[in-house]
Amino acid sequence: MGVESIGNRESLAPEIRRNLPVFIGVRRLWLHSLLLLATLFSTTLVGAGMQYNFSHNLPFFDADHWSRVYFTGLASPGAFLSGFPFSVTLLTILMAHEMGHYLACMYYGVDATLPFFLPSPMPVTGTFGAFIKIRSAITSKRILFDIGAAGPLAGFIFLVPALGVGMAFSKVLPGIQQQGSLHLGAPALQWLAQQLIFPGVPVADVYLHPIARAAWVGMFATALNLLPIGQLDGGHIVYALTGRFHRVATWGFLGVLAILGYFWQGWWVWAVMLFFFARTHPPIYDETPPSRGRIRVGLIALLLFVLCFTVIPIAD
């Protein structure tokens, strides 16, 4: 989550200061809506390509036929609509995550924007994700923890049933995961779901339905956000629970990402971006330790990270 200054709020008249978040929200509503529609379009195109490949028992992604990912959905209205199961599922998970943050901010009176969605031509997702901007200071560890944890927990509530439904619509096709140009890793949560619905079937033989693919993207986003680094959700949680240890955790996990980059080079990209743009954490003025209940929620967040993380998310 980013932080953006809005000037000296105390110099404004009380009635204007009280309604300032509303004024900002209305003024920017067109931008939020436009980005959401653009992301719905891009993810639906990707979903239509996934659905075509799934229906015809073709590999999830084949570089020799990459254009099919985008042009299948443009062939007809029906073809485009076939991508909705993927796009709506994915955007619901991402929206739940960001609204978890937003509603927590609203509860504590922290000035924050509505979610910004980012469309993308990436053939695996069709989106770069979503984020909110926090415009006012977070004054206590308690508030910081609740805002940081609310997003992953809310997204996970929608992610689990999506994975279950998507897995139920998936099918067994021997060797399908070894075909094509890209192969997605299987987080522990996906492996558990596959063992429940397809007991005894090798992971490489299960062809995931597009809804399950959307849940996979949600798991990747959850694991990424829960990395205990800087200003990520996991970084907020660690800062709220441990204070000064946050800096040690940030540097330690940046080092872990550097090592993991030998298995998947994408971790190097994330390590560099986090190092330059999200390594440090804004100061918190109220250092009151969090309650035992929040410590238990922190342990739940750690469990979610373990269930959603995979060392090699994408292999070729």
Q: Which of 178, 181, 177 minimizes the C-alpha distance to 63?
A: 181
206 with 172: CB under 8 angstroms?
A: yes
Give Cβ neighbours of residue 101 (< 8 Å, ≥ 6 apart): 1, 112, 132, 147, 148, 150, 151
Average pLDDT of span 129-152? 92
Write down the pLDDT at residue 75.
85
As a whole number of angstroms, the longest Cα–Cα distance in the chain is: 68
Task: Give pTM, 2 decimals.
Answer: 0.88
Q: Which of 76, 105, 73, 93 minimizes the C-alpha distance to 154?
A: 93
Using DSSP, state whether 2 is helix, strand or coil.
Answer: strand
Average pLDDT of span 233-262? 90
Structure tokens at 163: 């994975």
Secondary structure tally for the chain: helices H, strands E: 11, 8
Residue 9 has pLDDT above 70, yes or no: no
Task: Give the range among 41-50, 188-197, 207-216, 244-253 with minimum mean pLDDT.
Answer: 244-253
Average pLDDT of span 97-116? 94
308 with 226: CB under 8 angstroms?
A: yes
208 vs 17, residue with greater confidence = 208
Task: Give the range among 85-89, 121-125, 138-142, 176-180 with minimum mean pLDDT.
Answer: 176-180
pLDDT, tens digit, 9 for 90 and up, residues 14-72: 343 444 444 444 457 889 999 999 999 999 999 999 999 999 998 887 766 667 777 88
Q: What is the CA radius of gyration of the chain?
A: 20
pLDDT, tens digit, 9 for 90 and up, residues 163-176: 999 999 999 999 88
